[in-house]
Amino acid sequence: MKRSSKRAPKSEAHQKRTVQVIAAKPSPVALRSKRSKKALVVTPLSTRAKKLSKRGKAQRSKAAQRGKAAQRGKAAVARPRRLRADAGAVLERLSRAIPQPHVELAFDNAWQLLIAVILSAQSTDRRVNQVTPEVFRRWPNPAALAAADVAEVEEVIKSTGFFRNKTRAITQASALLVSRFGGEVPRTLDELVEVPGVARKTANVVLGAAHRVASGIVVDTHAGRVGQRLGLTRELQPEKIERDLCAHFPAEHWIGMSHRLVLHGRYVCTARAPACVDCPLNEVCPSRLVPPEGTWEERAEQQARDMALRSEGFARV
């Protein structure tokens, strides 16, 4: 039996649903329809067409966002193609920007530096430098601090925070140095991390800055952040970050780079507002936010002048 070519008439409601008059911004089809004075009939979008339309909308929205960001000067930054900075370039530029790295803790010998670093946990170097002169005046050597009255030590170091734990750490550390190492600070990492209150970071600082022993790279919050932003590490744990950083720099630069990374993170590549525009690493940094100003050498020279002022009164490493 032959099928009828005529379709069943659609209901009025269905016809109403299918008719949409495009009021604003007519498409070329609509314009042609107007010219031919035909009724403008647009069938409802199929599911696939709807999806495509949504995707197009999302893409247009992203493009608009990129445009706005570009106006604000953000997306206009051409980031280096590599996701990891060239470690050689980082070494060269930071060495120029911070020619004489320093520790921002005041000390005269390895024991004083050890005590200062223990006190600096969860505190600032400036705060520690305010209390250590009094600590070393009252207890000038490990034997004296080991025998000190606990309440008196707590009172002196109170402003650095966590003073009970810190008092225990510095008195016990001093006692161990006396009983086991003849009052001297050991020169190996393995021995030093046995001292109460001393972990790898503290040991690396003391060994590098006081004994000139390159046991590793100091990883504090600043050095870790800079290493991550430069793409030199993707790790989050200090020991793993240190392992990655040590693999990127020759051992003879570990001491210097330790303090350069810390200082660069503290004063230039800060957590909240990195000064990318003035940063000598800008061109090689995969995380830069804005284009640089001037040459990297000019920016490095400026940073070197700033660092020279900050390093006054501190021991260079």
Tally of CB atoms within 10 A around 26: 14
- Phi-psi region at 38: left, alpha or beta (left = phi > 0; alpha = psi -120 to 50): beta
Give dist(CA 77, CA 41) in Å, integer.
47
Residue placing its CB nearer to ligand SF4 in the complex, 131 or 285? 285
Residue placing its CB nearer to ligand SF4 in the complex, 102 or 229? 229
Q: Which of 197, 250, 251, 258 is nearest to 226 (CA)?
A: 258
Is 279 a binder of ligand SF4 (CB under 6 A)? yes
Q: Which stretch binds ligand SF4 (CB under 6 A): 102-110, 158-166, 233-241, 272-280?
A: 272-280
State the maximum Cα–Cα separation within the chain, in Å, rounded to a whole number: 114
Q: Which of 195, 209, 281, 300 binds ligand SF4 (CB under 6 A)?
A: 281
Residue placing its CB nearer to ligand SF4 in the complex, 156 or 223? 223
Is 285 a binder of ligand SF4 (CB under 6 A)? yes
Residue placing its CB nearer to ligand SF4 in the complex, 176 or 232? 232
Q: Which of 102, 201, 229, 259 binds ligand SF4 (CB under 6 A)?
A: 229
Is 276 a binder of ligand SF4 (CB under 6 A)? yes
- Taking CB under 6 A as the criterion, which residues in 232-271 touch ligand SF4? 268-269
Residue placing its CB nearer to ligand SF4 in the complex, 106 or 279? 279
220 is catalytic: yes
CA gyration radius, the chain: 33
201 is catalytic: yes
Is 185 a binder of ligand SF4 (CB under 6 A)? no
Task: Tell me the two tokens of residue 172.
Answer: 């016990």
Q: In angstroms, give the least distance from the CB of 102 to ligand SF4.
A: 20
Is 89 a binder of ligand SF4 (CB under 6 A)? no
Q: Which of 298, 300, 301 is nearest to 93 (CA)?
A: 300
Is 275 a binder of ligand SF4 (CB under 6 A)? yes
Residue identified by tokens 């911070």 is 98
Selecting among 86, 125, 220, 306, the annotated active-site residue is 220
**Inter-residue contact 265 to 232 (CB < 8 Å):** no
Q: Which stretch binds ligand SF4 (CB under 6 A): 74-82, 231-239, 248-256, 280-288?
A: 280-288
- Tell me the site size for ligand SF4, rule CB under 6 A: 14
CA distances from 218 to 22, 203, 245, 265 (A): 66, 9, 10, 13
Residues belonging to the active site? 201, 220
Residues that bind ligand SF4 (CB under 6 A): 226, 229-230, 268-269, 274-276, 279, 281-282, 285, 287-288
